[in-house]
Amino acid sequence: MDYTQLFQFSGRRVLVIGAGSGIGRESALALHAHGATVICADRDAPSAAATAAQLGAGASALQLDVLNQEAVRAVARDLTDLAALVFTAATNVRKRIADYTLDEFDRVVNLNLRAAFVLIQAFAPTMAANGGGSIIGFASIRAVTVEPGQGVYAATKAGLVQLLRTAAAEYGPAGVRVNAISPGVVETPLTAQIKNDPEWYNAYAAKSALGRWSTPSELAGAVVYLASDASRFVTGSVLTVDGGWTAVDGRFDPPNA
């Protein structure tokens, strides 16, 4: 075994959906840095193009709305040689259950869960036919720990974890690995509402063992690992990257004995 090649992607094509900003962009940058030929996809075409331009030679961009099933299927038909698929797109409406409208419910469920189902359904069979590949979706610590106002988002992320695990079971015999990354609080546009409230922001920072939020770049290593040969026997797993949030009780710091 040549361990120097564990994280090398030379000659491999990777599709990153949500590459126009945040975690998706950093994932694209990290995969490109390890030799992957990265296809940067996003609903916002100029943002996808900007990321591809930042990567330089070999990278490309495409506009893709994951809520459009036919568009997803068309891209899957064109990209038949992918080594890995990474998708990061998500949304949240922070409201208590009684205040939610069904339109808001549908908006969160459709992007966070339905779109993931459509992507897996479109890309996994082709990967299986080609001998394997890696599919990586982004869940959240909210799949296992919640707070008021996170009900629908948490439900979609818990559902996503189980969807990815089921896909791992169904496509594992064909060499397709399917895993989830579970971030804690990350400074992205999705968390702008919290960042704009100092009390809320600081409370979240204090909750993790590291005492701070993460940046999108700190999720990129997990993506590279799960897409690479270093994780060849990892599937159906949830890789938690939360600064210790789910490990720490956090309600009281007892004095020294």
Q: Give catalytic residues, as residue numbers.
A: 153
Alpha-carbon torsion angle 13, 226, 241, 52, nearest 10: -10
The dihedral of CA 141, 145, 149, 154: what is its sign? positive
Tokens of 233: 């026997």
CA separation for the pair 1, 3 (Å, rounded): 6
User: Max CA-CA distance within the chain?
Assistant: 64
Q: Among all chains, which residue has been given the structure tokens 């400074």? A: 187
- With residue 82 as reference, give the H or E element that holds it: strand 82-87
Crossing angle between the packed helical segments 22-33 and 45-55, to the nearest 10 degrees: 30
How big, in percent rounded to 5, are the helix, strand and coil portions of the chain?
Answer: 50, 15, 35
